[in-house]
Structure 1
Amino acid sequence: MSVTDGHVVHPTREQRVQNGLAARRGTPVESLADLGESSRDPIALLESQAQSRVPQLVPVRYGRMATSAFAFFRGAALVMADDLSRTSDSGLHTQLCGDAHASNFGLFATPERRTAFDVNDFDETYPGPFEWDVKRLVASLEIAGRDNGFTAKERRKITRACAAEYRETICRQAQLGNLAVRYSHLDPTTEIAGLGGLLDAKMEKRTRKALDKASRRDSLQALEKLTTIIDGHRRIISDPPLIVPVEEVFADLDAEAIYDELYGRVHSYRATLQWDRRVLLEQFELVQAARKVVGVGSVGTRAWILLLRGADDDDPLFLQAKEAQRSVLSYYVDGPTFRNEGERVVNGQRLMQSASDIFLGWQQGAGADGVNRDFYIRQLRDGKGSAVIEEMVPKGLKLYGRLCGRVLAFAHARAGDRIALAAYLGTDEEFDEAVSSFAVAYADRNERDLQALHDAIEQGRVKARTGL
C-alpha cells in the first residue's frame, strides 16, 4: 500500500498478482533449492549467544544439543539464519516465526477454551522472506526423519507433503477475504475426524490421548508437579539447576527486597494487558518465583516461573517470564527496531496466531547485576501439548508435517500479501520439490555442524553437561 494526499491507496488484486509473478521471475522457484557454500563456524555463532546467557546453564544447552541431529537443529536457529541469509531471497516478506521447526508447533487452549493447534514459539519472530520459515520447517522434518531411521523415499514424501500443504493453503487463503483469513484456524479435534482412513487405530488412539493430556495441563496440574508444602505453606520445589527458587538464586540478597522488586515487575507487566485481563490478574497475589530451565535453544536465557494465589491455595495461576533477546533474524534482515524485545515477541505472536494467551504481555527492568533485560510473560501451562517427534512413524510425521505446513500458511497469510505469495508459489509442484531438495542439503550440513559440536566438546573448546 501507499499513501497519497493522506489517503491509503491499496493495490488491486491484479497488481498483487503481478507483484508475485515479478518476484518469481526475479527469484525463480527452483533457486530455492540452492543452499550454497558457507565458511561460517557454527560453534563460534553459538558461543556468541552464550555471552549474554547464564554461564552455569550454557553447558546444559550444549549437552542437550549434542544428543541428536534434531536436537542440535532445534538449538541452532542463529546458525540457520546465517545460512539462509546467503541464499536466494524471494523478496516477499511476512511476519516470520523465525524458528519454525517441527517441535515449535503444538496444542494450547484458546481464551474460548477450545483446543487449538498452531505455531507456539515466537522468541525469534521478525519480518523476513516467507521461505525462511518454510525451509526451517521442512528441513526439521528431513532431519527428524533421519534420526528416526526413515528411508530417503519416506523422508521425501514427508517433506514434499509439508511444502505442498503450505503452498495449497496459501493459494486457498488468497481467494478469501481479509476477515476470513484472520479467523482461519485448525481445530485438532475436528481434524482427526476429517483424516478418516489416513489414521490407523493405534495412531488415532495416540493422537486422542495427546489431546486429552494437553487439555489437563493447567495451573492446577503444575501446582501438583512443581510445588510442595513446607511448614504449611505452598512452595516451589528446588531441583538445581533445572528449577531454583529465587531466594536460592540470589541467596546473598535480602528476600524482602527481592519480592518488593518482583511486585513492581508484576505491576508493570499488568499494564501491558487488555483492561479486562488486568482486572482478572489483580485478583491474584504473588506467592513465589523460581528460575526454570526450558527448551533447547533457549537454555541459558533467563526464564522464571511465578506462582500466584487466587481465592485460595487451590486457585493457582502459574506464569512464565521468559527473557527476550534480539531476534536472530534481525542480524540478517533489514526491519524494525524495538524498544522492548518482549513487546516484539508478543506483537509477533498475536499477529501470527489464530488466538493467543489472555495473559500474554511484556516487561522490562534491570537485574541484580544492573543489566536491563526484556521479558515476555504468559501462562506456564494452559492446555499446552507438543508432539513427540522422535517417536513418530513415517505416516504420523507426514500427517503432522502437513498440519504444521497448513497453520504456518495461515500465519503468513494473516501477516503478508497472500495474493502475491500465491502467485509466486503457483499451482504446480515446483516449490514442493525445491524446498524438499533444500531440506536434504541442509540436513547434510546440520550433521556436519553436530559433529563440530562433538569435536568442540571433546577438545574442551566448550563444556557440555548431559542428562538434564
Structure 2
Amino acid sequence: MSDLMARKGDLHAENFGTYMDNHGILNFDVNDFDEGYVGTFTWDVKCLLASLNLVCHRKCFSDEEIKRILIVCVEEYLKQIYEFCKHTKNEFALTLRNTSGKIKELLNKAPIKTNTECLQSWTTVQDFERKLTRLDKRSYGKGKYKIKDVVSSLAQGIGSAGKITYTFLLEEHSEALESDVILYMKPAQKSAISYVVRNPSIDEYFKDDGLRIVLCSYAMQASTPEWLGYTKLDGVPSGAAERFESR
C-alpha cells in the first residue's frame, strides 16, 4: 500500500480546464474524476505522456520534437513535485493572480463562458422565465434552491457513452435570470483501476462510486468547485457538479 495514492485515472490532454471554486476564484486544473481511484502515481504520468504523444502526432510534429516535448513534460513534473516537497504547507492553485500566457488567457475568457454564454447556450427565456432548451414537464421537489427545469440526454465521452445524464436549472436566492445555476448529474461507474488494484479495504472504502469521484476531486484539485457533490438516483450512485462549458 505504501506506493499507492490518489490518482486521477484518466489524465489526458482534454481533461484540463477552468472552473469556479468554492471561494469564487477561477482555477485552471485537472477535471473529470470518473476514473479516480488509488494506484501508482506513475500510471497517471504515463497516461498523460501517451495523450501528448497522440496530440503531437496529429499535429504532424516530428519524432524528435515529440520526444523533446515528452522529456520536458516529465522534467517539469518532477521539478514541481520537488517544489511541493519543499513547501508542503503552501496551497498551490493556478489562478489569474499567478499565471501568464495561454493559461491566463483561458482564465480570462472563462468568466464569460461560466455565466452569460453558458446560460445562453443551455437555456432560453420564455414568458420572462429562464428554461432549459429541451423542457421536461415533470414536477420537481421543494428544497433550499428552486429547481426550475431539468432535461435528460445521452452522455458524451468513451467511458460514459450511452449513459443518461441530467442537466438541472436552479434558481438561487435571487430571482435575477443571470444568477441561475446549471448543474449536471451523471451515473458514477466503477473505476477501471479497481479491476487492477485488488485491495478489499479500498473496495470497502469506495463502495459508493459517487462518493469516490468527490473524494478523488478533493484529493487532486487545489480547490474544489462549489457545487461538487454526489447522490443516488433509483439506487444508482451519481456525481454532480456545476456545468461551465457551452454546448
Instruction: Report deviation, 1:113.
Output: 2.7
Q: Deviation per CA, 1:124-150: give whole Å up to 9, x if none.
A: 000001110000001100000001111
Instruction: Report deviation, 1:214.
Output: 0.9
Residues 1:216 and 2:112 are matched in the alignment: yes
Please tell me the root mean square deviation across aligned C-alpha atoms, in Å: 2.5
Instruction: Report deviation, 1:209.
Output: 4.2
Q: Deviation per CA, 1:152-191: give whole Å up to 9, x if none.
A: 11111111111111122222322333x33xx123335533
- Write out aligned runs for 1:57-456 (5 A): 92-177=3-88, 179-180=89-90, 183-187=91-95, 190-192=98-100, 204=101, 208-231=104-127, 233-238=129-134, 245-247=135-137, 255-256=138-139, 259=140, 263=141, 282=144, 284-297=145-158, 298-310=160-172, 311-314=174-177, 315-335=179-199, 336-337=202-203, 338-366=206-234, 372-381=235-244
Stretches (4+) displaced over 6 A:
none
Aligned 8 A contact 1:219 1:380 in 2: no
Q: Which runs of 5+ in 1 are unaligned?
A: 2-90, 193-203, 239-244, 248-254, 268-281, 367-371, 386-467
Q: 1:333 to 1:246 in 2, by over 3 A?
A: farther
Give 3-state SS (helix, strand or coil) of 1:103's partner: coil
Identity of aligned residues (%): 27
Give 3-state SS (helix, strand or coil) of 1:166's partner: helix
Instruction: Report deviation, 1:208.
Output: 4.9
Bigger Rg over Cα: 1
Give 3-state SS (helix, strand or coil) of 1:139's partner: helix
Q: Deviation per CA, 1:291-347: give whole Å up to 9, x if none.
A: 244542233222211001232151311111121111111111124122321111001
Q: Using structure 2 for the length normalisation, give the TM-score.
A: 0.86
Q: Deviation per CA, 1:331-385: give whole Å up to 9, x if none.
A: 111241223211110011011111001221110131xxxxx3111111112xx69
Q: Look up the equivalent residue of 2:239 and give its one-letter code.
A: Y
Which has a greater percent of strand? 2
Instruction: Report deviation, 1:287.
Output: 0.8
Aligned 8 A contact 2:188 2:239 in 1: yes
1:390 is aligned to none
Taking the aligned partners of 2:190 and 2:58, their CA distance within structure 1 comes to 31
Instruction: Report deviation, 1:211.
Output: 2.5
Instruction: Report deviation, 1:121.
Output: 1.3
Taking the aligned partners of 1:225 and 1:185, their CA distance within structure 2 comes to 28
Aligned 8 A contact 1:340 1:364 in 2: no
Greater displacement, 288-297 / 117-126 = 288-297
Q: 1:210 to 1:168 in 2, by over 3 A?
A: closer
Taking the aligned partners of 1:246 and 1:332, their CA distance within structure 2 comes to 40
Which has a greater percent of helix? 1
Taking the aligned partners of 1:169 and 1:150, their CA distance within structure 2 comes to 26
Aligned 8 A contact 1:220 1:316 in 2: no
Give 3-state SS (helix, strand or coil) of 1:305's partner: strand
Taking the aligned partners of 1:93 and 1:208, their CA distance within structure 2 comes to 33
Q: 1:109 to 1:96 in 2, by over 3 A?
A: same
Give 3-state SS (helix, strand or coil) of 1:299's partner: coil
Q: 1:357 to 1:174 in 2, by over 3 A?
A: same
Q: Look up the equivalent residue of 2:228 and give its one-letter code.
A: L
Q: Using structure 1 for the length normalisation, give the TM-score.
A: 0.48
Instruction: Report deviation, 1:111.
Output: 2.5
Taking the aligned partners of 1:162 and 1:292, their CA distance within structure 2 comes to 37
Q: Which runs of 5+ in 2 are unaligned?
A: none
Aligned 8 A contact 1:117 1:188 in 2: no
Instruction: Report deviation, 1:109.
Output: 2.1
Instruction: Report deviation, 1:118.
Output: 1.3
